[in-house]
Amino acid sequence: MKIGIVCYPTFGGSGVVATELGLELSKRGHEIHFITYNQPVRLELLSNNVHYHEVNVPEYPLFHYQPYELALSSKLVDMVKLHKIEILHVHYAIPHAYAAYMAKKMLEEEGIYVPIVTTLHGTDITLVGSHPFYKPAVTFSINKSDAVTTVSKSLKDDTLRLFDIKNDITVVPNFIDLVKYNHGFTDCQRGMMAKDDEKIITHISNLRPVKRVQDVIKIFYNIQKEMPAKLMLVGEGPEREKVEYHCQQLGIFDKVIFFGRSNEIDKILCFSDLFLLPSETESFGLAALEAMASGVPVISSNTGGIPEVNVHGVSGYLSNVGDIDDMSKNAISILKDPKKLETFKNNARLESLNFDLHKIVPLYEAIYQDTLSKCMAL
């Protein structure tokens, strides 16, 4: 199949999933066209069946806001025609599903029919999409998609609760390339980060308020009172300065390593003992899955889709959002007991097998086939 993928090209989970999906589909013989405003960060290798088409939005002084949706829908029309793209898979409803629908309508005028698969990722529903300013357009574009998927059952429930949805929604969980995370690094270069007796705690996110990074700091503060430990903070975002200040106030600044954005998540997770994800809302928690695939147990909140990934008492522990004491107690109980730590590490790796990309990517292929056949029949 010739598949157009629209996504955010940044470090956010939706862009990562879209990119990994496109790369795997290309390995399975499909021709993939990424259409976005920058080359996706995890798209390092273009090949004869992986293409990237950049959406440019020319600056014009009259526009207070540059019309990205317009540029994207025009680009989609051009690329569908030029490359004979058969299906468009858009990740994150805003504004991608809306722009794709406009492209579809423009193409129909020329007798070209291209169905749209929309994957909802989380904040497009729970935080941004349900805002009254966007809600009518988001509802419309979900209802006008030819197929709709969500990355967890919890997100499906949220979507049905928050919007008036007439379409069926299929849950297709996020997935992981286990080979990439079963790296078998013999030397993780752990020694560069921490002393042998120090436990390594990691948090990876876009450091937005929804991730509750201040809770990460508080939990780590409690851990390091009980045992030697270091915190690896990976990612960039609006909370970073506040977090740095908080670390200074608590006198733990020298125990926290700020990595910023990194393309070497697998290497960082390789030397981690525990992963913290105390988010306010999280439709899936891809970062937790990446940790588990690296054999790192997860201490998380029990919000949204996280319980579908992190299994309480098996791959880690779940607590109510903001319950720092419970999260700290759980973290310390795993870290203090070498046998328990080993068991949780193994369990985390085993649980991650449920999300093997070889199991999940065929589900998307089946949705494409099904959508195409239904559209042909019309």
Cα 66 to the chain's mean position, in Å? 26
CB within 8 Å of 377: residues ≥ 6 apart: none
The single-letter DSSP state of residue 213 is H
- String marking each residue 280-309 x if it binds ligand GMT according to CB under 6 A: -xxxxxx-----------------------
- String marking each residue 42-81 x if it binds ligand GMT according to CB under 6 A: ----------------------------------------
Establish if 17 lies at the interface with ligand GMT (CB under 6 A): yes
Establish if 22 lies at the interface with ligand GMT (CB under 6 A): no
Establish if 95 lies at the interface with ligand GMT (CB under 6 A): no
In the range 168-187, which residues lie near ligand GMT by CB under 6 A? Answer: 174
| For ligand GMT, the closer CB: 130 or 283 | 283
What are the start-end ranges of the H helices in the chain? 13-27, 68-83, 93-108, 123-126, 135-144, 153-162, 178-181, 213-226, 240-250, 265-270, 286-293, 324-336, 338-352, 357-377
Give the chain's end-to-end CA distance (angstroms, integer): 19
Region near ligand GMT per CB under 6 A, out of 206-214, 290-298, 313-321, 369-377: 206-214
Considering only residues 4, 9, 13, 115, which one is a binding residue for ligand GMT as defined by CB under 6 A?
13
CB of 100 to ligand GMT, least distance (A): 17
Dihedral in degrees, nearest 10, Cα atoms 270, 274, 280, 285: 40
- For residue 316, the cross-strand partners are 298, 312
Considering only residues 19, 36, 73, 123, which one is a binding residue for ligand GMT as defined by CB under 6 A?
123
Establish if 150 lies at the interface with ligand GMT (CB under 6 A): no
- For residue 47, the cross-strand partners are 50
Say which amino acid occupies 362: P
On the CB side of 235, CA atoms within 13 Å amount to 21
| For ligand GMT, the closer CB: 77 or 288 | 288
Cα angle: 131, vertex 145, 51; to 5 degrees? 100
Which two three-digit tokens encode residue 45?
Answer: 């290798």
Establish if 361 lies at the interface with ligand GMT (CB under 6 A): no
CB of 284 to ligand GMT, least distance (A): 4
- Dist CA 152 CA 305 (whole Å): 6
Region near ligand GMT per CB under 6 A, out of 122-130, 142-150, 250-258, 259-267: 122-130
CB within 8 Å of 341: residues ≥ 6 apart: 273, 297, 334, 335
Establish if 9 lies at the interface with ligand GMT (CB under 6 A): no
CB of 257 to ligand GMT, least distance (A): 21
Establish if 310 lies at the interface with ligand GMT (CB under 6 A): no
Considering only residues 30, 89, 96, 121, which one is a binding residue for ligand GMT as defined by CB under 6 A?
121
Establish if 355 lies at the interface with ligand GMT (CB under 6 A): no
Binding site for ligand GMT (CB under 6 A): 12-15, 17, 92, 121-123, 126, 151, 174, 206, 208, 210, 281-286
